[in-house]
Amino acid sequence: MRAEAFLVPDEEGGREPWPSLLRALVLVNDAAPDADGALCGDPTEVALLEAAIERQQNKAALESQFPRHGEFPFDSERKRMATVHADGAAFLACVKGAPEAVLERCPWQLTAQGPVPLDADEMLAQAECMAARGLRVLAFAERRMDILPADIEDAESDLTFLGLVGLMDPPREEAAAAVAECRTAGIVPVMITGDHPATARAIAERLGILDDGGRVVTGVELAAFSDADFADQVRDIRVYARVDPEQKIRIVRALQAAGEFTAMTGDGVNDAPALKRADIGVAMGKGGTDVAREAAHGAAGRQLRHHRARRARGPAHLRQHPQVHQIHDDQQLGRDLDDIPRALPRPADPAAADPHPVDQSRHRRPAGAGAGRRARRARHHAPAAAPAR
């Protein structure tokens, strides 16, 4: 991942809001260098810190000048993260998050002439254009205060907008081929993301998950669906954007209620309920959480081998089963899509015999095994010998 685009109210480099924006990239950021100097942390935060370092920002110096006094971590409801720092005798709150979640709290924007009123609609339109290019867009803002903020509401209100940053997180080259392979096997890939709908559409179309003109459903739209309305549409939706964690399990349940076999991939704590609910749950990524791994109840390698063995039996076998819906958290598309299991659904009639039984030859006992027991049994049941004449 890499920061590819910046949009600030004043485009002239070296003047405000550039210094404040670059400072915010460093301060509202938990990424840090390890003992060898390599940056470690969340990939998004690493990319933001790299962008700041490339522009002559020094993390250690800034953290010394503006020591952190508190943090309000990102959560899926606020869609923001905030940190509070000492600034001499005052305090500085730095905020980053989804453009719509940050801009709604910004009456001001910083320019070379100082703070001026912000046209939030215009800036949201700019964010939409960046997202349509497949960029993951974050907005940055700040607030200066004379006293330490009492709570999160105090820290994240009356903000001054600093700028937008667009990050490119391209899928791996093999991801599109993996999606095509899924479709060939009768699996329907579905993407769930917290990203902007325009970003989600661009990536899904690039991967072949979404056809041109296909529908992207947002978390707000999903929340407005009744269970009956969602049941009528769930089979046809391929991409969900700006989705809350609890909505993931609703999607899984709706597909299962429609008779679909559902595989779910994910790596975060918030993915755990949906991983557990899905017919196949796969915790993915080397940086995945232990909670996700414990909730997942499918081993990627075993399911992959199982699928390949069954897929080799031919398309006639596939047609005997309902369709598979494989749901991916978008964070996995760039890293692990080629590792996901190509699982097949259970037969429509579980009692039906498998027309393609598994070869059991490797489970047979070696020749001669049990010969002694059979000999003893034969002697025990043999008729008594006739007396000699």
| Cα angle, residue 375 at apex, residues 371 and 381 outer, rounded to 5° | 145
From first to last of the 389 residues of the chain, give the pLDDT tens digit. 899 899 987 666 668 899 999 999 999 999 998 888 899 998 999 999 999 999 999 999 999 999 999 999 998 788 999 999 999 999 999 999 999 999 999 999 999 889 999 999 999 999 999 998 889 999 999 999 999 988 899 899 999 999 999 998 878 778 889 899 988 988 899 998 888 898 899 889 989 999 877 889 999 999 999 999 999 999 999 999 988 888 988 999 999 999 898 888 876 667 777 788 888 887 765 554 554 445 445 434 444 444 455 445 444 433 333 445 555 555 444 434 433 333 334 444 444 444 444 444 444 444 555 555 555 555 554 544 444 43
Distance, CA of 175 to CA of 335 (rounded, Å) = 8
CATH superfamily of 2-168: Calcium-transporting ATPase, cytoplasmic domain N (3.40.1110.10)
Cα distances (angstroms) measured from residue 61 to each of 142, 144, 216: 19, 20, 44
* CATH fold of 175-339: Rossmann fold (3.40.50)
Secondary structure of 298-322 in the HEC alphabet?
A: CCHHHHHHHHHHHHCCCHHHHCCCC
C-alpha separations of 385 from 188, 372, 376, 382 in Å: 72, 22, 16, 9
Residues 6+ apart with CB under 8 A from 283: 265, 266, 267, 271, 275, 289, 292, 293, 294, 295, 296
Task: Kindly give, in sequence order, each residue whose CB lies less than 8 Å from that of residue 123, ignoring residues fewer than 6 positions away.
Answer: 99, 103, 109, 139, 161, 164
Cα separation, 378 vs 366, whole angstroms:
21
Beta bridge pairs of residue 385: none
Output the pLDDT for position 298: 47
Asked, colleague to colleague, whether 2-168 and 175-339 share their fold, the answer is no
Q: Going by DSSP bridges, is the β-strand pair 280-283/261-266 parallel, antiparallel, or unpaired? A: parallel
Provide the pLDDT for residue 15.
84
For 184-202, the DSSP string reads HTTEEEEEE-SS-HHHHHH
Q: Identify the pLDDT of residue 350.
A: 41
* pLDDT of amino acid 13: 60
Sole residue written with tokens 């205060």? 145
Position 243 scores a pLDDT of 87
pLDDT given at position 337: 42
- Any idea where the domains of the chain sit in the sequence? 2-168, 175-339
Strand partners, 117: 108
- How far CA 42 is from CA of 32, 78, 160, 212, 288, in Å, comes to 10, 19, 26, 32, 11
Q: What is the pLDDT of residue 101?
A: 94
